[in-house]
Amino acid sequence: MKISNLIILFLAVALTQSCTGAKGGSADSASDTQIYWVSGTKAECDAGAGKMQCLQVHKGADLENAEWEYFYAGIDGFNFEEGYLKKIEVKEEKIDPAQMPADASSVKYTMVKELEKKQDYRSLIGGDWILQRLNDKPVAGAPTVPTLQIDLKGKRVSGNNGCNNYSSGIEKLTPNSIELGVVAATKKACKGDNLEARYSKAFNNIDTYQIKGENLIFYGNGGNKLLSFRKEKEGMTANQRLHDIWVVTAIDGKNFDRSQPAARVEINLTEMRVMGNDGCNEYQGKIEKATENALVFGNLAGTKKMCPRMEMSQRFNEAMKKVAGYRVNGLKLMLLNAVGEEVLALRKVD
């Protein structure tokens, strides 16, 4: 073959190769395929003027050192399943700017195929937990038992440390380790022997975790057991002393006006209902949630009569809307808001 013919053949091959784009497509479509791991939980993320629930994606086949990022665009053909990790092959195609809708992604994502699916053990850590052991010793009998709420969508933890309420962001979460941000807490002083100092010290040193049935165990970086929690369940795990009739003695820390008829709260855990009198009108409604620490009422329906003085009744009804938790101490009941502040003080009816 002549040298000139070889040169022509070489140029033809080179030209053909230059017209071929990245793996999975041509230069015209500017497409490529990548391996993604998609988390079994979504997370709250910013979406312009509002919030949305985003997929969490790690781009790469290795999960050991996964770097999870919010994924704002959709993936055509992908079916998200809560609680399951999915390894997928995704085709990425650049969109012609002239054909791209306003505020849309400049890349179109399409699932080619699902490569692997397995349970995302991180999803099991979410929910409400109550402390059982501290530094591997039981905490039964403590005046106030610490609690922990893990919000995977909001990527936050919160709870009560035995005295004060605390919260922190989740910086990183793998199937067996957790990293938290700075822990913030309220500053009220509590009387008596409580677990606050010991609990807070242990909580600030957690490194890894393990789920065993209904139990969540946190370990230090030396493998020592720091905190053991049990999952809170609805209904009958609530303190059965709640199941009674109570009269209001204070609203938002101010004594109830004794010149007016006392407001009454009857809590029925068997039927998961609340009823009573606000000092003027009868009311009733559902109990939406009742656990060892949480108590949430649904919408309350009541009679509509007018009484000479309605201020205390109005304050009582506003307080009932804020109830998120409780604490029982002998014949006294405190109903608390979402940050652990007292909104109603009550005493048991003899």
Q: What is the pLDDT of residues 93-126, one digit of tens each?
A: 988 877 766 667 788 999 999 999 988 888 889 9
Q: Is the pTM of this model over 0.85?
A: no
Is residue 28 pLDDT above 50, yes or no?
Answer: no
The secondary structure of 185-203 as a DSSP string is: E------SS-SHHHHHHHH
Buried b / exposed e across 137-159, counting CB within 10 Å, b at 16+?
eebeebebbbbbbbbbeebbbbb
pLDDT of residue 25: 38
pLDDT tens-digit map of 31-44: 689 999 998 888 87
CB count within 10 Å of CB 95 equals: 15
Task: Give the tens place of pLDDT for each residue, 129-160.
Answer: 989 999 999 886 667 788 899 988 888 999 88
Lowest mean pLDDT among 1-15, 155-169, 279-293: 1-15
Work out the average pLDDT over 314-325.
92
Q: Which two tokens stand for residue 179?
A: 């990293």
The amino acid sitting at 222 is G
CA 342 to CA 259: how far, in whole Å?
23
Q: Which residue has the higher pLDDT, 202 or 289?
A: 202
Residue 217 pLDDT > 90, yes or no? Answer: yes
Among residues 223, 274, 284, 270, which one has the least CA distance to residue 246? Answer: 274
* Confidence (pLDDT) at 269: 86
Structural domains of the chain ordered from first start: 25-119 (no CATH), 123-231 (2.40.128.270), 240-348 (2.40.128.270)
Average pLDDT over residues 162-168: 89
pLDDT of 68-95, one tens digit each?
Answer: 888 988 899 999 998 899 999 999 998 8
